[in-house]
Every structure is written in C-alpha cells, then in structure tokens.
C-alpha cells in the first residue's frame, strides 16, 4: 500500500486533535491528516465529557485560555466560517457554591477583572430568583441520614456568560471547519508503528496497512497517549494515567422548574448541569476518591456507572433540587488522562525532532479545546496568528515545575 505524504499527522480525533488540525490549516499547512482509531471524531474521552465551559481556575493563564475558548463559543459560526452551529453551547451561567470552610474569591475576582471576563459575587437572593429550583445550601449532605438546616452565604461567585456545550457537535464543527481548509479525517485508523528517520520525517503505519509520512507528528491520543509515546521510546517526565470517571443522569421532573445553571458544590463535592436540552439532570463528582480509579488498558474498562455511585449521586442531587420522585437514573463512565503531577497537560516537543505531545488534560480539557488547538499549532509551527491566545507556549512545557492547581478535575 502506498504512503500518503502530509505536512502534519495528528494521532487522535478528540477535541484537541481536531482543534489543532483546524489551527494548523489556518497557518497554511495544506495536508493535515487526523488518524482516529474509533469510528468518528470524539469517540473517546471527548464524546463522554460533561463539556462544562467555565472559567474559574487556580491560575490566571488557564483562566485566560478558558476565556478565549468561551469567546470562540460565543462567536462560533463566524470564527469557524460555518452556516450551522452544532456546538450546542448553552450560556446558562455557572454558580460556585462554597462549603463550610471559608472561600476567599479575591484572587479569582482579580484574574477575571484582568482579562475582562464575566465573574462576580452575586447576591444569593438574586441567584435564587434566577434559578428558583436550585438549593444554594453550603452545607454538605450527610449520607448517613443526619439532617441539617440549609443555609447559604450572602453572595456566591457567578459566571454569568459560562455554561456547557455538546462535545460531539463541537468537535464535528471544528472538523468541518478544518475540512474546508484541507484537513482529512481517517477514521478507524489505529496507529501500530511509527518510524522516525534521520531526515526529520515520520512514517506512521496503521492496522489496516495504510501509511502516512510527515515532518510533524502530534500525539493527541488521550488515554492511549502512553501507548503512542512508547512507539517512539518517548517517556514523559510527568505521569500520565488513564483514569475511569463516572457520571450519573436522571430525567428532570416537572417540579424542577425554571432555569438551571451549571453548579459546582464544594460541600457536596459534585457538579451538575442540565442535559438533553433541559429534559435531564447530569451530575458528577469532584471528590478525590472518585478521580483515582486507574485503568491499565484504555481498551478494556467498565463503561457503566456503578449502582453505588448512582445512589450516592442521586442523594446529593436531591439535596440540590426538591424532587418528589426518584425518576429514571442511568450512569456511565469515561476515561480521562490524568497528569498526576499537577493535573495540567504537557504541550511540547519531545523525543525525535518534529514530534509533539498534547497529553494529560485531566478531565478539564474540553473547555480549553478551542484555545489549546491554537496554542498547540503555534508550538508545532512557530507561527503565531493575531487572534491566538495570549499565553506563552512554554507554559505547559514538559520540563516545567508543577503548575499551581486546586487539584482534581477543577484544577
């Protein structure tokens, strides 16, 4: 079988790989090939993402990247030059509910003010009027059955313009925008070998026998990143661990009325949002014990939610919404690639010249997908565009000191 020559080959058709392909094409690369082992884009971690689009992070740089992505979601069809918008971006707002411990928002407020992002300490009474069904109680539920008098602080941190999106539709839109510039998707193309030549090119072979050659090669393989790195004997200096993370969904009963935001509760250690155009409620955990189930083989893990997890999440969801019936509940599990050193990705050139990695987004990468695509493409080409994010491309370097993080998927 003949070898297809490309300007760049990207391994992985999740949001990072597809966004990067689009941005490489914007920089003039004519032949960009995405090799995806699944049947379509977003068939791995991206498609199972809760797809929350929020800005609050422990550091300014990642907040800046999230804000850049939010602005792109707000101008989606214009920025991608599309007629139809499949991103499903819903700016329902994000409400951060603190726990019993004091929550000092001063640093977060300063970061938002510096970049001009919409974030404020909103009066609790105003938020209750805006989201009448959501219980803003700061106290955690006692799963042993002990009751408490619910109480909320006078004000809560609120991201008025943030929300959530459809991960499948978002990635498909990025692909369509890239295809208009010459990007090619090769689905069901599992990479089985990579040969690096002294001339600075890579020959990538797939399970079906097809071969691709390029001077630039990006590993954006998500939970399969270690497997791809091993094909070139590349060992990253930080630990990338495929990790199983569960979520639960139930139908939304009629007594849960009005608008529902994305909510993040420090006390209950959960986040939630509307799902299926508001007809369902999705809930996930940010507790450390629910972000620590390591998976050795990303092709072999339980995709179903456990009964124990579903039961625990439903108790916490009932703390947030008064629901007379339990309703129909189902759970599912996804794989994230957790960088156990600092919960942030490595985006850098490593190993043979021309080889790049974008690994370890640790469950909070979806919202960064649009901005990270531009950042990765800039790293791969040394070419900046006027509308690129204003974050140093070396921020996620492989040899960095660990980035300050709040830990876990919230980073």
Sorted by where each starts, the structural domains of the chain and their CATH numbers stand as 3-85+166-238+341-410 (3.50.50.60), 94-163+241-339 (3.30.9.10)
pLDDT of residue 289: 94
132 three-state secondary structure = coil
Residue-wise pLDDT for 137-170, tens only, equals 999 999 988 989 999 999 999 999 999 999 999 9
Contact between 325 and 253 under an 8 Å Cβ cutoff? The reply is yes
| Side-chain half-sphere exposure of 85, counting CA atoms within 13 A | 13
Beta pairing partners, 202 = 196, 214
Contact between 328 and 280 under an 8 Å Cβ cutoff? The reply is no
Spell out the alpha helix ranges (H) of 5-137: 15-26, 60-74, 76-80, 106-115, 124-130
pLDDT of residue 175: 98
Residue-wise pLDDT for 200-259, tens only, equals 899 999 999 999 999 999 999 999 999 999 999 999 999 999 999 999 999 999 989 999
Dist CA 108 CA 186 (whole Å):
42
Q: Which tokens sit at 406?
A: 């709040």
Q: Which tokens sit at 259?
A: 């608008």
Nearest-CA neighbor of 310 among 325, 336, 329, 282? Answer: 329
409 three-state secondary structure = helix
Dist CA 233 CA 273 (whole Å):
41
Treating both helix axes as pointing N-terminal to C-terminal, what angle do 167-179 and 15-26 enclose, rounded to 10 degrees? 30
pLDDT of residue 336: 94
- Token pair 């992002």 in the structure block, residue: 117
Q: Which tokens sit at 92?
A: 């329902």
Kindly give, in sequence order, each residue whose CB lies less than 8 Å from that of residue 234, ignoring residues fewer than 6 positions away: 350, 351, 355, 357
Nearest-CA neighbor of 339 among 410, 244, 242, 239? Answer: 239
Q: How far is CA 26 from the centre of its chain?
A: 23
Dist CA 193 CA 258 (whole Å):
53
Beta pairing partners, 280 = 251, 275
Residues of the chain with pLDDT under 70: 326
Beta pairing partners, 348 = 357
83: which DSSP letter?
Answer: S
- Token pair 């993040």 in the structure block, residue: 264
Nearest-CA neighbor of 241 among 309, 291, 190, 191? Answer: 291
Q: How many residues does the chain have?
A: 411
pLDDT of residue 409: 86
pLDDT of residue 103: 78
Beta pairing partners, 184 = 33
Q: Which tokens sit at 214?
A: 């390029």
Contact between 283 and 225 under an 8 Å Cβ cutoff? The reply is no
pLDDT of residue 395: 96
Which string of DSSP letters, residue by residue, matches 239-266?
A: -EEEEEEEEEEEEPPTTS-S---EEEET
């Amino acid at each position: 079988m003949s070898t297809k020559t490309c300007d760049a080959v990207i391994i992985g058709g999740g949001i990072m790989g597809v966004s990067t392909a689009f941005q490489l094409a914007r920089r003039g690369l004519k032949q960009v090939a995405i090799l995806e082992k699944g049947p379509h884009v977003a068939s791995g971690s991206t498609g199972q993402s809760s797809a929350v689009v929020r800005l609050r992070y422990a550091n300014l740089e990642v907040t800046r990247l999230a804000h850049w992505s939010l602005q792109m979601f707000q101008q989606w069809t214009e920025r991608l030059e599309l007629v139809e918008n499949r991103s499903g971006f819903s700016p329902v707002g994000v409400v951060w509910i603190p726990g019993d411990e004091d929550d000092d928002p001063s640093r977060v407020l300063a970061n938002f003010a510096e970049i001009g992002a919409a974030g404020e300490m909103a009066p609790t009474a105003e938020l209750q009027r805006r989201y009448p069904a959501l219980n803003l109680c700061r106290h955690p539920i006692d799963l042993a059955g002990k009751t408490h008098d619910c109480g909320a602080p006078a004000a809560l941190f609120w991201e008025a313009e943030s929300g959530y999106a459809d991960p499948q539709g978002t990635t498909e839109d990025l692909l369509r925008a890239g295809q208009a510039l010459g990007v090619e998707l090769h689905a069901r193309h599992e990479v089985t070998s990579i040969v690096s030549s002294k001339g600075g090119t890579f020959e990538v072979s797939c399970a079906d026998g097809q071969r691709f050659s390029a001077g630039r090669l990006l590993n954006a393989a998500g939970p399969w990143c270690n497997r791809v790195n091993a094909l070139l004997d590349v060992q990253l200096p930080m630990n990338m661990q495929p990790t199983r993370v569960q979520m639960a969904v139930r139908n939304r009963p009629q007594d849960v009325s009005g608008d529902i935001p994305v909510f993040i509760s420090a006390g209950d250690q959960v986040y939630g949002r509307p799902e299926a155009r508001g007809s369902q409620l999705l809930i996930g955990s940010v507790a450390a014990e629910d972000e620590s189930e390591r998976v050795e083989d990303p092709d072999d893990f339980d995709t179903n939610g456990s009964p124990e997890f579903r039961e625990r999440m439903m108790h916490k969801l009932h703390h947030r919404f008064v629901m007379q019936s339990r309703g129909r509940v189902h759970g599912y599990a996804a794989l994230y690639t957790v960088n156990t050193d600092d919960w942030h990705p490595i985006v850098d050139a490593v190993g043979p010249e021309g080889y790049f990695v974008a690994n370890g987004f640790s469950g909070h990468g979806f919202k960064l997908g649009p901005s990270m695509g531009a950042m990765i493409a800039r790293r791969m080409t040394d070419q900046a565009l006027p509308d690129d994010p204003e974050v140093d491309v070396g921020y996620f370097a492989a040899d960095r000191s660990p980035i300050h993080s709040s830990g876990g998927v919230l980073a």
